[in-house]
Amino acid sequence: MFASAGISGTVGRAFLLVGFIGAVFGAFAAFTGARRNDPQIIRLIPRFSTLSFAAAVGAFAAMEYAMITRDFSLAYVQKVGSWSTPALYNFAAVWSALEGSILMWVLVLAGYTAAVSFWVRKRMQDLIASWALGVMFVVSAFFFLVSFFPANPFAAGAPGVLDGPGPNPLLQNHILVMFHPPILYLGYVGVTVPFAFAIAALITGRVGEGWLVATRRWSLFAWGFLTFGIALGSWWSYEVLGWSGVWAWDPVENASLLPWITGTAYIHSVLVQERRGMLRVWNISLLVATFSLTILGTFLTRSGVLNSVHAFSESSIGSWFLALFAVILVVSIGLIGWRGDKLRSPGVIDSPLSREAAFLANNVLFAVFAFVVLLGTVFPLIIEALQNRQIAVGAPFFDKLSMPIGLALLTLMAIAPVLPWRKASTETLRQRLFWPAWCGVAALVASLLLGAYGLAPLLTFTLGGISAGAAMRQVVLATRRQGWRGLVGRANGGMIVHLGVILIAVALGASNSFSKSQELSLVANVEASFSGHTFELKDVVEVRDDRSISVKALVLVDGKKIYAPAITKYTRIGMNVGTPSVRTSLTTDIYLTLEPPVRQDANEARIKVFIKPMIIWLWIGTALMAVGTVLAAFPGRRRKPTDATSAPIEVAAP
Amino acid sequence: MKTRRSVWLAMFLLVAVLLVFGSTRTGSPQTQQDRIDSLTSVLACPTCSGESVFVSRAVAAESIRAEVARQVSAGLRTDEQILSYIEQRFGGEVLLVPRATGVDALVWALPVAALVFSIFLLYSAFTKWRGNKPESPTSDDEQIVARALKTNTDEQ
Amino acid sequence: MKSNNLVKIVSTVVGIVIAMFFVVLVVADPSQDIVAQSPLLGQPAPAVASETIDGAQFVLERRKGSWVVLNFFNSTCVPCINEHDLLVDFADTEAANPNGAEIYTIINDDSSDAVRGFFNKNGGDWQKVKDDNGAIAVAFGVARVPETWIIDPNGLVRLRITGELSPGLLSEQVNKLRDGFTS
């Protein structure tokens, strides 16, 4: 029995095929052109990247068209489409399941390939660019192929289906589903660019600093979007999932965190290479690790070997990604081994008390952090393979181990920004850390006055204070010297990012340690109180639409404003989704959830109240990180060639 | 400078005293709700590996949460007993914190081993670097500086 | 020379670790067995006392002496709906057997009305036991409905089947257990 896939299905699949052919020809042209150094062939490359990008846009548009017109001849539309889904969520439904998210990957990757070939169009004769584009074409071809065969979004569905269940209820009740996945993908897929250039550098043997400097903004761009995407995911978790937390350490979250960790290590250690020409093997390894972790993460979460809220399905796609993962590792490690002699670094690090040594320590910590997250994520698989026994590794494990790592990183953030390159005396350190240290003392005293307790949170606040002082010191000195230009460039923008990170660390420390919660059984018009706030149930109402029935409890908080936590039953899927209601303020969030079972006729409701300090500072910190990343991408002050490499950044410091 | 040093010393002392004071004082006593929350945080939701019962809104997690709440408010069992009640029904994979015995202990030991190993690598790298550090700038270095200085003055 | 050796050792170790990791990933098996593990297998069944949707008492311990099949059920879950006809057939066959198994539905996160409506429409005249707050489900360690459990006349848990039943599976397992049973 063959069901026909309808017009958009046929068109979409044809686009995928065209895109695949474009990518294959592009790879062929790039590699042949680069090997023979033939300008005629190299000139063709941008055409192929434009072709694949156009094809990817076409395929994506065909999918959107099918989704918007509710073309139920497609299996994918049957799976996630529904007449009752509102237009916006229906648009986002395209990336709400496996096949569509791979299609989005194809689109973003083809977009990056086209953008890179546009960016290097005037420098096409630089063979490193051709090789890099070749690598990107190969990866694109792989994804076109995955989308064509095992994760085909245009497969025909069972005949006679006229309506579907719609996307997962969690993906159709908050506007963030429009933004979180695309932004995360811009980061996740974006790491392909620096990876491709690293491979190209290895192939051409030009492993010096040129390619690093050239791809600096691409790395920063990808890292920035990855950071922002992860933060949006946390925000979504807080606003939608109803457990009042921002990070659950589930495998999909870990899959996005892993490349972020190695990527963060890279954007720090790359500074050492740019400045001192050292750590070449290490930096290339970090890029390889970052890229291969995106593929590994996709394998872990999409193959069904681990299950999680986000894990979509079980399909044969796993073996494809595992194969790609193996190829990446073998090729990269082979190339690094082959170029080993050229990668030998000329320099030495003089002193453990220097900027570069601090970066090294930072890298060790990030490497251990990545190892911990990876180990915890795959440990159940290891035990299953060894002993055929099921175990779980979850948040308590990750929390316990990431806390000391986080504190150590905060310590580094306190000291590293004041360290000069090459060598520092303890005297310099004492002098430069003087005011930052007092900031730390002030933070400690303030938090004690506010009633904080416990070693870990107090250490977090103290170190946060010192780090903030150190970062501010750098920014203040730079702006005093250079005016507004003291805010841009890597070092200064980086300090703004640090300030954002510190805010997040402090807010996490406070909200994890000093949250309170209580379940309240509220009876209508009877006031209950908890932790100095009053809660009064005004009504329980039911709201129906054609996709769901929601029960809302209208709760008057502190006699001022009504908040309405809800439980929504998505009738077509038979799934209950809670929707928390949050009163946000600069100091404390009051987070209300409605607890099952609910009856709208009864004049009572069970409400769980969470009092969580400082949550909003997580989002402010995120915004600051975003601003800092943008500032860091602007060209900063060029170092005068006369400055000795050992000169401290703030040469004109008073 | 002498005064600075004593200021630093005073600061260290102050921080140490404050930290000791802050880490010995405790917050409000643990409520039943705190107990429920901390117990459910170390139990895995059986239908969604990786997430805790505290986090998950899945049906199975709701049921376990309700059971834990029931047992906590009955007040007859200790935390350990409640956890083992759940474990006896759902199996070892319901505990989110791996045990520190047998092969499972690897998950705790390996990170420490990784840290020790990388510190050892750092240490040996630094000893190596210290060994072949150039004593003074080479003549090449001096030439580079001279050339750079020259271009710089030309530009101005 | 010494540092060269170190590089070699480190890269060998890293290589071995990656290779082993890869093996683990290759053997990782996404599929799950239909006959599932449970710490309760061979143990006395948890004490269950509740009432049916018709208001009758249900105490599992009083069912000792006969084979009992518990089916954890929700009227909106698709595999539950799919396997329902098989359960009806099974109940009919067992009713004809003097040593036949009793079957009970344990309601999971569903209203009595919805369950009543479902059974009126799709058949099945055995008792449906209420499970408020999922206490019974937790007592058995039920993860995701449907699950089907077999308890022997001594009140020991003998088998746990997770997921949708395949045709004949339940009869086959019950017969096998019954044939091998000596009280």
Residue A304 falls in which region: left (phi positive, over 0), alpha (psi -120 to 50) or beta: left
For residue A101, the SS3 value is helix
Distance from CA of B78 to the nearest CA of C (A): 18
Contacts of B91 in chain C (CB under 8 A): 37-39, 141
Q: Predicted confidence band at B97 (pLDDT cuts at 50, 70, 90)?
A: confident
Residue of B nearest to C132 (CA): B63
Query: CA A318, CA C30: separation in Å to the nearest integer?
Result: 10
Point out the residue among A379, A387, A447 whose CB comes nearest to the CB of B107: A379
Chain C residues close to B70, C-beta within 8 Å: 133, 135
CA A567 to chain C, closest CA, distance in angstroms equals: 14
Q: C170, C90 in Cβ contact below 8 A?
A: yes
Interface mutation vs chain C, best among A306, A308, A382, most C CBs within 10 Å: A382
Residue B74 reports pLDDT greater than 50: yes
Chain A nearest-CA residue for C111: A597
What pLDDT score was predicted for residue A288? Answer: 95
Query: Which residues in chain A have their CB less than 8 angstroms from residue C31's CB?
Result: 314
Chain B CB within 8 Å of residue C30 CB = no
- How distant is the Cα of B4 from the closest Cα of chain C, in angstroms? 42
Report yes or no: C25 at the A interface, CB cutoff 8 Å: yes
> Side chain identity at B16, as an amino acid letter?
A
**Cα–Cα distance, A581 to A591 (Å, whole number):** 6
B155: contact with A, CB 8 A cutoff: no
What are the sequence ranges of the domains in chain A? 1-173, 516-613
Instruction: Report the side by side order of strands in the sheet with C147-151.
Output: C127-129, C102-107, C68-73, C147-151, C157-162
CA distance B84 to chain A (A): 15
Q: Over range B11-32, report the average pLDDT.
A: 89
Chain A neighbours, 3+ Cβ pairs < 8 A? B, C
> What does residue B129 show for φ and ψ, rounded to 5 degrees?
-60, -40
ipTM: 0.86
CB A610 within 8 A of CB A516: yes
Rounded CA-CA distance A434/A88 in Å is 53
- Residue A637: half-sphere exposure toward Cβ, Cα within 13 Å: 18
Q: How far is it, in rounded angstroms, from Cα A146 to Cα A127?
A: 29
Identify the pLDDT of residue B139: 59
Q: Does C163 touch chain B (CB under 8 A)?
A: no
Whether residue A407 contacts residue A334, with contact meaning beta carbons closer than 8 Å, is answered with: no
Pairwise CA distance, residues A273 & C145, whole Å: 56
Identity of the residue numbered C99: N
Confidence of residue B93 (pLDDT cuts 50, 70, 90): confident
Task: Residue window 86-125, chain B: list those with CB within 8 Å of chain A.
Answer: 91-98, 103-104, 106-107, 110-111, 114-115, 118-119, 122, 125
Measured distance CA(C22)–CA(A506) in Å, rounded: 38
State residue A309's pLDDT score: 39
Q: What is the per-residue pLDDT for A638?
A: 53
| Tokens of residue A83, six digits | 């007449």
Residues in chain B within 8 Å Cβ distance of C134: 59-60, 62-64, 66-67
Q: Which chain A positions have a beta carbon within 8 Å of B23's beta carbon?
A: 453-455, 458
> Cβ of C53 under 8 Å from any chain B Cβ?
no
Would you say the pTM of this structure is higher than 0.80? yes
At B137, is the pLDDT very low, low, confident or very high (cuts 50, 70, 90)?
low
Fold of B32-96: Helicase, Ruva Protein; domain 3 (1.10.8)
The strand pair at C102-107 and C68-73 is best described as parallel
Taking CA atoms, B42 is separated from B49, B51, B82, in Å, by 12, 9, 12
Q: Phi then psi for C54, rounded to 5 degrees?
A: -95, 5
Tokens representing C28 are 């990782």
- Find, among A515, A519, A505, the residue nearest to A589 by Cα: A515
The DSSP result for A171-192, as a single string, is GGS-GGGGTHHHHHHHHHHHTH
What's the rounded Cα separation, in Å, for the pair A381 and C17? Answer: 15
Q: A244-269, pLDDT tens digit by residue?
A: 899 999 888 999 999 999 999 999 99
Residue C31 is predicted with a pLDDT of 52
Domains of chain C, earliest start first: 1-31 (no CATH), 49-179 (3.40.30.10)
Q: Give the pLDDT confidence score for residue A425 in this predicted structure.
A: 84
Q: How far apart are CA A443 and CA A561, in angstroms?
A: 33
Residue B37: predicted pLDDT: 92
C-alpha C98: how far from chain center: 25
User: Residues C73, C39: contact at Cβ < 8 Å?
Assistant: no
- The burial of B2, by beta-carbon neighbours within 10 Å (0-12 exposed, 13-18 middle, 19 or more buried), is given as exposed
Testing the interface with A: which of C8, C20, C21, C25 to mutate, by most A Cβ within 10 A? C25
User: Around Cβ A432, how many Cβ atoms within 10 Å?
Assistant: 23
From chain A, pick out residues whose CB is under 8 angstroms from the CB of C30.
303-305, 314, 318
CA separation, residue C137 to residues A190, B66, B67, C70, C71 (Å): 46, 11, 10, 11, 10
d(CA A233, CA A256): 10
Mark out the alpha helices in A303-339 (DSSP H runs): 317-338
Encode burial over B116-133: b for 16+ CB neighbours within 10 A, e otherwise: ebbeeebeebbeebeeee
Map residue A527 onto helix, strand or coil: strand
- Do residues B27 and B40 touch, judged by C-beta distance below 8 A? no
Asked if the model's pLDDT at residue B50 lies above 80, the reply is no
Q: Please tell me the predicted confidence (pLDDT) of residue B156.
A: 36
Classify A306 as helix, strand or coil.
Answer: coil
For an interface test with C, the pick among B59, B64, B67, B130 (most C C-beta atoms closer than 10 Å) comes out as B59
Residue with tokens 């979504």: A236
Q: How many Å apart are CA A550 and CA A441, to the nearest integer? A: 50
**Lookup: tokens for C2:** 């010494």
Which residues does chain C have within 8 Å of residue A381's beta carbon, measured at their own beta carbons?
24-25, 28
**Looking at this protein, which amino acid is placed at residue A635?**
P
Percent with pLDDT over 90 in chain B = 40
Q: How many residues does chain C have?
A: 183
Which residue, C162, C158, C157, C161, is CA-closest to C177?
C158
Pick the residue of C10, C12, C13, C24 with the most A CBs within 10 A to test the interface with A by mutation.
C24
The secondary structure element, H or E, covering residue C147 is strand C147-151
Q: Using the beta-carbon criterion (under 8 Å), do C21 and A378 form an inter-chain contact? A: yes
Cβ A554 vs Cβ B69: under 8 Å? no
For chain A, list residues with pLDDT below 50.
1-3, 308-313, 640-654
How many CB pairs below 8 Å do chains A and B form together? 183
pLDDT at position A636, please? 59
Domain ranges of chain B: 32-96, 98-127
What residues of C are in contact with residue A329 (Cβ under 8 Å)?
18
Instruction: Please tell me the number of Cα atoms within 13 Å of B122 on its side-chain side.
Output: 19
The Cα C147–Cα B89 span in angstroms is: 14
Q: Which pLDDT value is given to residue A312?
A: 43
DSSP-assigned letter for residue A168: -
Sequence-ordered list of residues with C-beta below 8 angstroms from that of A23, at least 6 positions apart, any chain: A48, A52, A110, A113, A137, A138, A140, A141, A144
CB proximity list for B80: less than 8 A, separation 6 or greater? none
Mean pLDDT, chain C, as a whole number?
Answer: 87
Residue in chain B nearest C109 by alpha carbon: B59
Bridge partners, A520 (sequence order): A607
* Chain C neighbors of A318, CB-CB under 8 A: 30
- Say if strands A561-563 and A548-557 run parallel, antiparallel, or are unpaired: antiparallel
Does the pLDDT value for residue C9 go beyond 50?
yes
CA gap A565, A569 in Å, rounded: 14
Report which secondary-structure segment, H or E, holds A263.
Answer: helix A251-276
When CB atoms are compared, the residue of B18, B49, B149 closest to A392 is: B49
The set of residues, in sequence order, having a beta carbon less than 8 Å from that of B112 and lying 6+ positions away, is none
- C24–A574 CB contact, under 8 Å: no
CA distance B148 to chain A (A): 6
In angstroms, rounded to a whole number, what is the distance separating the alpha carbons of residues C33 and C19? Answer: 28
Q: Pick the residue with more confidence: B125 or B34?
A: B34
Q: Which of C23, C26, C77 sits opposite A574 (nearest CB)?
A: C77
Name which of B60, B66, B128 is nearest C142 (Cβ-Cβ): B60
Question: Which of A249, A352, A516 lies closest to B126 in CB terms?
Answer: A352
Kindly tell me if the per-residue pLDDT of B1 is higher than 80: no
Q: Name which of A584, A585, A567, A586 is nearest A575 in CA terms.
A: A567
